[in-house]
Structure 1
Amino acid sequence: MLAILVTVGSCGTSSERRDGVTAEVVRFERALDTGRRAVLCAALAPSTKEELEQSTKSRCEQAIGEQDLPRAGAVRSVDTYGDQARVVLQHDTVFLAHFPEGWKVTAAGCRPRPQRPYQCEIKGG
């Protein structure tokens, strides 16, 4: 089971928003751990799912299984900025955006790079 140790960033909004973001990332990581590809695809933002399918030329359920996503570990911090969020885990960083149906993953498998944007395995176009 994914351990949750949340440290809230000072620029966050309400604790309910952070809780919603954290819950979505935990669902995403559990689906990754158990190989539930349909759940992973449902968690992706529309543009992220579209980019994944276009770049791999296959349906999301097949394509997401071919990605090199790390087993993320515990949540270290959650930052929310309006309708955008970043969740830093032990071995991954996940970005999300808020849609009418809830929080969706816009990028995952992200690693920081000095003086440059994150390098992400899955990202929107």
Structure 2
Amino acid sequence: MDRRHGAAVAALTLAVALVASACSDAPASADAVDAAERFYAAVADGDGEAACALLLPDAAEAAADDADAPCALAVTSGAIGDDLASRADGLGTATAHVAGRQAQVLFAADTVFLARSGGGWVVTAAGCDSRPERPYDCEVEA
């Protein structure tokens, strides 16, 4: 085998490895998007119990504390609920970035952060707005 052929084989092997590694995150990305979409579907349906079941317990508790109401009411009424409902109406297509046990799902109307918990994903922050050079500002966060 000459050097050019060996280099071509090495480049092809590297390309296949990169594609395989990118594809290996596809199921995790799809699952993270699904969890974020289910959260917003529950919010849009006014099903606070279902929405809160998809939150990290610390995030559910923080939402309840912020609204001085049970989580189920906090995510479906008042300032937090109104903001989440308005975002649910304009989510659009989602893309996800997964890094280990963390995920970020980007919608047109929101950025949702998730963490792997057991066999699935839980929402750790939602209703998030990007701020240049600073952390996101989120309605619901742990």
TM-score range, shorter chain: 0.7 to 0.9
Deviations 1:66-101 (A, max 9, x none): 212122422342000111000010110000001115
Unaligned runs of 5+ in 2: 1-20
Question: Percent of aligned positions with the same letter in both sequences?
Answer: 34
Residues paired across the two proteins, number: 115
Kept after mapping to 1: 8 A contact 2:33/2:94: no
Q: Which of 58, 67, 70 is the aligned partner of 1:47?
A: 58
Give, in whole Å, the separation in 2 of the partners of 1:64 and 1:13.
33
Name which of structure 1's ranges 49-58 and 32-41 shifts more when overlaid on structure 2: 49-58
**Aligned: 1:26 with 2:37:** yes
The structure whose residues are more often helix, as a share, is 2
Identify which of 101, 105, 115 aligns with 1:87: 105
Q: Which has the higher strand share?
A: 1
Q: Which consecutive residues of structure 1, in runs of 5 or more, have no partner in the other structure?
A: 1-9
Match of residue 135 from structure 2: 117
Q: Superposition RMSD on alpha carbons, in Å?
A: 1.9
Query: TM-score with structure 2 length normalisation?
Result: 0.74
1:30 Cα shift?
1.3
TM-score in terms of structure 1 length? 0.83
Instruction: Name segments (4+ residues, structure 1) moved above 3 Å.
Output: 10-13
Computing the radius of gyration over CA atoms, which structure comes out larger, 1 or 2? 2
